[in-house]
Structure formats: structure tokens, C-alpha cells
């Protein structure tokens, strides 16, 4: 596997991580109204909270995401300053994940998202 392919794989995993944090929010809200049992699975809900809290802690301590760091390392060739993924899907996913917002905007998004997820955990708790 080439460095570019490995970098693309990491990018896909990173995107999947984001999807796994965002997607359960509306599903929990809908599932609470429709009495879906799976939204109350304890390990699933704890994992969901842990995933967003990891992102918030990274932001608060000023740590770059390890997936971003590794992907950039794999894409960078000696002497190269700009690192852009090649190929349609990697470029598209990269544009979705890495918008040109100020760092505080990302922080606000992370903290707001974490607050919402923790609130959902309390209002629609997992079953004992």
C-alpha cells in the first residue's frame, strides 16, 4: 500500500469518525419518540459521549487531531508545502472536514455538539 493510499484510508476513517459522532444525534431524538430500543444500549451511548469528549479535550489542550497529523505526514513529500489529496473522493472529503474556519469556530462547534450529546445522554438515558 502506498503512502497516498494509506493517507486516503486515514482520511476515510476520519470522515467516518465525524459521521459516527453526528448521525446518532437525530437518531436518538427520533428513537426516543418512536421508542427504539437500540438507542438506549449503554455501551453505544457511552462510546458516543466518549468520542465527542475526546475531540473537545483535544481542542481545549491545543492538540491537533492525531488522524490529521498522520494524514498530513503521509501526504507530504520532501520540500512540499501544500498538501492536497488527489482523487475526487479524497479531495471532496478533505474539503468537508477541513474548512477554512478560525480555530474558535471549530471549538464552538465541538463544545456545542458535546453539550448536546451529554444533554441527550441525560434526557434519553441508556437503559440500566
pLDDT computed for residue 25 by the predictor: 98
Are the C-beta atoms of residues 14 and 65 closer than 8 Å to each other?
yes
40 φ/ψ angles, rounded to the nearest 5 degrees:
-110, 15
DSSP string, 47-115: HHHHHHHHHHHHHHTTPPPHHHHHHHHHHPPTT-------SHHHHHHHHHHS----HHHHHHHHHHHHH
Alpha-carbon distances, residue 17 vs 2, 24, 52, 104 (angstroms): 23, 12, 10, 21
Q: Which whole number is the average pLDDT over 32-46?
A: 97
Name which residue leads in pLDDT, 42 or 128. Answer: 42
- What are the pLDDT digits (tens) for 95-106? 888 888 898 999
Tell me the pLDDT band of 79, cut-offs 50, 70 and 90: low
pTM of this structure: 0.87
Amino acid at each position: 500500500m502506498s503512502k497516498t493510499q494509506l493517507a486516503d484510508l486515514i482520511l476515510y476513517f476520519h470522515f467516518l469518525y465525524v459521521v459516527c459522532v453526528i448521525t446518532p444525534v437525530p437518531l436518538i431524538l427520533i428513537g426516543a419518540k418512536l421508542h427504539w430500543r437500540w438507542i438506549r444500549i449503554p455501551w453505544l451511548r457511552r462510546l458516543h459521549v466518549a468520542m465527542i469528549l475526546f475531540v473537545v479535550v483535544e481542542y481545549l489542550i491545543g492538540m491537533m487531531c492525531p488522524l490529521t497529523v498522520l494524514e498530513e505526514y503521509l501526504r507530504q513529500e520532501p520540500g512540499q508545502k501544500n498538501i492536497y489529496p488527489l482523487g475526487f473522493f479524497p479531495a471532496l472529503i478533505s474539503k468537508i472536514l477541513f474548512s477554512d474556519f478560525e480555530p474558535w469556530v471549530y471549538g464552538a462547534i465541538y463544545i456545542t455538539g458535546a453539550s448536546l450529546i451529554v444533554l441527550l445522554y441525560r434526557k434519553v438515558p441508556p437503559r440500566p
